[in-house]
Amino acid sequence: MTNPQALAFTWIAATVAIVVLNILLPQPFGLSAMGAVLEQYLVLIALVAGIAAIRSFRPAERLVVVALLVALVAITLPRYVPAWISPVALTGTEDVIRVATWNMHAGPNAADRALKGISSSDAQIMAMEELGAEAVAALEGQASRFPYTALTSDTAFLDVGLLSEYPILETQRSTNPPFLRAVVDPPSADPIVVYAVHIPLARLVYIGGIPVGVDFSVRDKAIATVRSRVQEDLARNQRVIVLGDFNMTERERAYDLISSGLRDSHLDAGNGPGFSWRPPPIDFVPFGMLRIDYVFSTPDLQPSTSSVDCSLPSDHCRVDVELAPTD
């Protein structure tokens, strides 16, 4: 093989290995863990490399490359099939509850950005992450828009908050990890337990000062903590919505932990990839690059629409979802 052929073949084979390892034995840290985060891009590059180089391989080599590409598509395509191919059929009541989650990103002009984030949304229940003192003060003055709020009283650190058009009957707050549990009482349904969540980032792993991978153990522990509280509510047969910034993609093992037994609104009712985050240096681009913000709900809260708004001044897009209570 020539160097370009060898490079294409190596990339394709390595991508297949990473995808298979992530399915059979997902890793909490290291290069394989990062491969799970970036899987969609690794697969795309592998497909492009295979298609571009296929003619330059000898017949036997072509068979191997084609076999690898077919295997790659077969094991990854089901994860990326748009929800509109098999849309959820709504049943029961047509009354919907509009919810949203947005990480507004700590930084300057927090008050103006916070107000822009809520003014462009028709959500009735909205979770916000990375709230600081300036943003909290601005949101507390929006009683006509959201008469019920659960915002942090300790503005010495960034926190999560909940805004609601409906009465908030009770709240419980955790700072490590940051999440809020609230019981909201909409007029069209029984009280709903709502979690507003901000899971911490993974940590880079260094060797000799060079980043060689990531460690998701702290993040995964935080997700397990939130899930244990959610599980208590599920055991009491309560309706639950879990929304926020989870700093995970749906291809990681932590996703299976938090989403077990719950609906993922984007997979049920969204279109396209649902990407909700882009790196801060390019947060001006009108699209996301990874899906790390989610709205999960119990099966009796059925998603009818799910979309992202990437026009807001933050590295995160706002996720807007309509949920229909069912019998």
Q: What is the pLDDT of residues 245-301, one digit of tens each?
A: 999 998 888 999 999 999 999 999 998 889 999 999 999 999 999 999 999 999 999
> What pLDDT score was predicted for residue 35?
79
Q: Tell me: do 99 and 227 sit in the same domain.
A: yes
Residue where one domain finishes, among candidates 34, 52, 80: 80
* Between 27 and 298, the higher pLDDT residue: 298
Query: What is the domain-level CATH number for residue 199?
Result: 3.60.10.10
CA distances from 309 to 98, 105, 177, 194, 286 (A): 14, 15, 26, 21, 8
* Domain around 114: 86-325
- Confidence (pLDDT) at 9: 84
Query: Angle at Cα 203 formed by Cα 199 and Cα 209, nearest 5°?
Result: 165
Give me the mean pLDDT over the 203-225 stretch: 84
Q: Do 209 and 299 belong together in one domain?
A: yes
For the chain, list the strands marked E by DSSP.
29-30, 97-103, 125-131, 148-150, 159-164, 168-175, 178-184, 192-198, 203-207, 210-215, 239-245, 263-264, 293-297, 301-309, 318-325
CA 217 to chain centre: 18
248-271 in b/e form (b: 16+ CB < 10 A) is: bbbbbbbbeebbeebbbbbbbbbe
Does one domain contain both 243 and 180? yes
Among the listed residues 312, 321, 260, 313, the one whose alpha carbon sits nearest the alpha carbon of residue 294: 321
Mark whether 29 and 94 lie in a shared domain.
Answer: no
Q: For residue 226, with 0-12 CB atoms within 10 Å meaning exposed, 13-18 middle and 19 or more buried, which class applies? A: buried
pLDDT of residue 163: 98
Q: Are residues 128 and 192 in the same domain?
A: yes
Residue that the structure tokens 């985060």 belong to: 37
Query: pLDDT band at 161, cuts 50/70/90?
Result: very high
**Cα 276-284-254 angle, rounded to 5 deg:** 20
Q: Is residue 199 a contact partner of residue 223, using CB atoms and an 8 Å limit?
A: yes
Task: Give the model's pLDDT for residue 311.
Answer: 95
Contacts of 25 (CB under 8 A, 6+ apart): none
pLDDT score recorded for residue 171: 96
pLDDT greater than 50 at residue 36? yes
Residue 93 is predicted with a pLDDT of 47
Same domain, 274 and 290: yes
Point out the least confidently predicted range of 36-45, 106-115, 280-289, 313-322. Answer: 36-45
Q: Which of 276, 283, 273, 274 is nearest to 315 (CA)?
A: 283
180 lies in the same domain as 97: yes
- Distance between terminal CA atoms of the chain? 62
pLDDT digits (tens, 9 = 90+) for 99-110: 999 999 988 999
- Give yes or no for residue 89 having a pLDDT over 60: no
Number of domains in the chain: 2
User: Do 159 and 225 belong together in one domain?
Assistant: yes
CB 97 within 8 A of CB 189: yes
The residue among 38, 58, 80 that closes a domain is 80
Looking at the fold, whether 69 and 36 belong to one and the same domain comes out as: yes
Query: Is the predicted pLDDT of residue 222 greater than 70, yes or no?
Result: yes
